[in-house]
Every structure is written in C-alpha cells, then in structure tokens.
Amino acid sequence: MGGYIRRDRAGLKRDRNLVFDYFPQLRERRAQIAGYLSGGEQQMLAISRALMARPKLILLDEPSLGLSPLLVQEIFQIIRSINQEEKSTFLLVEQNANLALSIAHFAYIMEGGHIVLEGDPTRLKSNEDVKEFYLSGGGRKSYKAIKSYRRRKRWLS
C-alpha cells in the first residue's frame, strides 16, 4: 500500500526488495493479512509502508509499545540503519528515554505537554534530573511521593 501512488516500477521493485532486506520476516509473511501479523511484525509493516512512499520524514509514535525487549532492540537498530543508509529522518516519540536517546541525533524531553529540555542526547543523558527521573534502572517511582521531585523539576516553573 505504501507504494500505491508511485508510477516508477523499477524504483518500486527496488524499494520492495530494500524493505524485505530490512525486514526479512515480512518477506516470509507477504501473503498474510496484516491484521494477523504479530505486534512486532505490524510495526515492521508500518515502517515498511512508510518507506515505500520514499518520504524525507517518518513519524513514529511509540514503536516499542507492547513489544518484547529483544524485538524492540531489533526495530530500533533497523530504524538507525534506515536513517543512516536511506537518509530518512525520523521523528520518534518514545517513553523509553534510554533507548530513544541511544539512537537520536537531537532530543526533546517533554513534561506536561511542554518541551522542558532539548539538545544533544549525550548531554541530556548526563543531566542529573534526566538520569534520576527518566533513566533510572530501578523500578518505577511515584514521583509525587518524592519530596525532591518538585524542587528538582525546576524546568516546570
């Protein structure tokens, strides 16, 4: 479907093969109905459809949602490869800050619908507030229960 509006048959064939190279599982399942694919395969299919249109910008909203950690790693590596090899720009919205910052060239951190920090991902990863509230390896914290939360989230004031 992503190549439906295209008229260049040679380019379309090249891009279909390219997509199958990035996502070999889709080649095996190309005769299946999309709704019967697994969650990870559906994410791969969505990215593939977008690539078939040869966009300059691809928007991805939570590509890791509901996927196993191994599959998430695979999809993010493929996103990185597509960005480098095809020169496609990705605008990625992702709750997993550590993963998003690991592949980003530029990052924004939003809180309550507002951009509160932006810049180089390496610099953001070393920010103490970002480390404490978005990159902690420990279990989920109840941020409202942490007294220092409001004081340390000074970017909201």
Q: Is 114 helix (H, G, I), strand (E, B) or coil?
A: strand
In this prediction, residue 138 carries a pLDDT of 43
Of the two residues 24 and 147, the one the predictor is more confident about is: 24
Q: Residue 61 — left, alpha, or beta (φ > 0 → left; ψ -120 to 50 → alpha)?
A: beta
The tens digit of pLDDT for each residue in 55-78 reads 889 999 998 888 888 888 988 999
Average pLDDT over residues 48-54: 87
Q: Where are the domains of the chain?
A: 9-95
Q: Is 98 helix (H, G, I), strand (E, B) or coil?
A: helix
Q: Which fold has domain 9-95?
A: Rossmann fold (3.40.50)
Q: What is the largest CA-CA distance in the chain?
A: 61
Tell me the C-alpha distance between 101 and 108, whole Å: 9
